């Protein structure tokens, strides 16, 4: 006998640009939204009966309709509005989930300050959240960021590592340390001030990366996560991924020149990959 064990369906990559037109300046957000529903959909899978299936096109339209009336000031709040709508309107749904990524637009600096209605996108960094709620409660909010490119030109070394017959990497006491940081943190259930906490956590991670006397990427990753957990009680754990963006010192001796740690060749592949999840003990 075959039974349907688990199922979900939804709409992916719903694109939304939302402009808040305040008198003194406009606010611009660009979001990409994924929606997923779980519930009593066995009749659709087994019998082809679509009477309980909300079309994914309707989910897309719901995003735009709610955006028009939304009071949300951050993507965590908007995700919760979406989830509440789908659970309220669809009794067959037992769990709803909304994942949102945000491209960062900043006010263009023009003249003496930020232009109120013109924006620039200067980074490939994405802000993200993944919000889920069961019909009987059980809200989970996991937020973070992707593709934050950071690099420091001092305060990083890598020595004393394991060597075997295939090791060719020289030890380095003064190297460039660069990474494309991805981070995820889980909020405690009582949290509501998501936007300010996001800025605070991001600031902690970047500050520790900059000032830490790094013995390895692993060493700095741990220091970053440790500081976030120690300084922000509203998060329960944090996961950090830090691929090592290598910059290799160029040998200029064949040209009769020295290279006092100034000329490098950046390479994208292959690269080291370091990842860890930290939580309070």
In whole angstroms, what is the distance from residue 28 CA to residue 277 CA?
33
In whole angstroms, what is the distance from residue 29 CA to residue 9 CA?
26
In whole angstroms, what is the distance from residue 37 CA to residue 58 CA?
13
In whole angstroms, what is the distance from residue 199 CA to residue 21 CA?
23
Q: Is 26 a catalytic residue?
A: no
Closest-CA residue to 248 (of 190, 189, 175): 175
From 18, 26, 56, 153, active-site residue: 56
Q: Is 246 a catalytic residue?
A: yes
Buried b (16+ CB within 10 A) or exposed e, 49-78: eeeebbeeeebbebbeebbeeeebebbbbb
Residue 144 neighbours by CB under 8 Å, 6+ apart = 127, 128, 129, 182, 183, 184, 185, 239
Question: Which residues are identified as catalytic?
Answer: 11, 56, 246
């Amino acid at each position: 006998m075959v039974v349907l064990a688990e199922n979900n369906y939804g709409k992916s990559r719903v694109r939304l640009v939302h402009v808040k037109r305040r008198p003194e300046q406009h606010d611009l957000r660009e979001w990409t939204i994924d929606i997923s529903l779980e519930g009593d959909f066995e009749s659709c899978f087994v019998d082809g009966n679509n009477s309980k299936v909300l079309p994914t096109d309707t989910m897309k339209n719901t995003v735009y309709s709610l955006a028009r009336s939304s009071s949300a000031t951050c993507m965590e709040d908007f995700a919760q509005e979406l989830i509440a709508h789908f659970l309220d309107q669809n009794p067959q749904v037992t769990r709803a989930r909304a994942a949102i990524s945000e491209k960062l637009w900043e006010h263009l600096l023009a003249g003496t300050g930020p232009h109120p209605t013109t924006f620039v996108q200067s980074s490939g960094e994405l802000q993200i959240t993944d919000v889920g709620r069961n019909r009987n409660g059980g809200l989970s909010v996991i937020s973070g960021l992707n593709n934050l490119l950071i690099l420091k030109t001092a305060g990083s070394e890598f020595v004393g590592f394991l060597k075997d017959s295939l090791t060719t990497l020289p030890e380095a006491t003064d190297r460039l340390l660069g990474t494309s940081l991805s981070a995820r943190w889980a909020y405690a259930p009582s949290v509501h001030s998501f936007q300010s906490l996001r800025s605070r956590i991001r600031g902690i991670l970047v500050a520790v990366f900059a000032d830490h006397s790094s013995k390895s990427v692993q060493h700095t990753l741990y220091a970053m996560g440790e500081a976030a957990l120690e300084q922000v009680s509203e998060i329960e754990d944090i996961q950090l991924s830090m691929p090592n963006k290598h910059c290799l010192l160029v040998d200029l001796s064949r040209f009769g020149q020295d290279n006092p740690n100034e000329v490098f060749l950046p390479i994208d592949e292959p690269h080291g990959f370091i990842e860890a999840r930290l939580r309070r003990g």
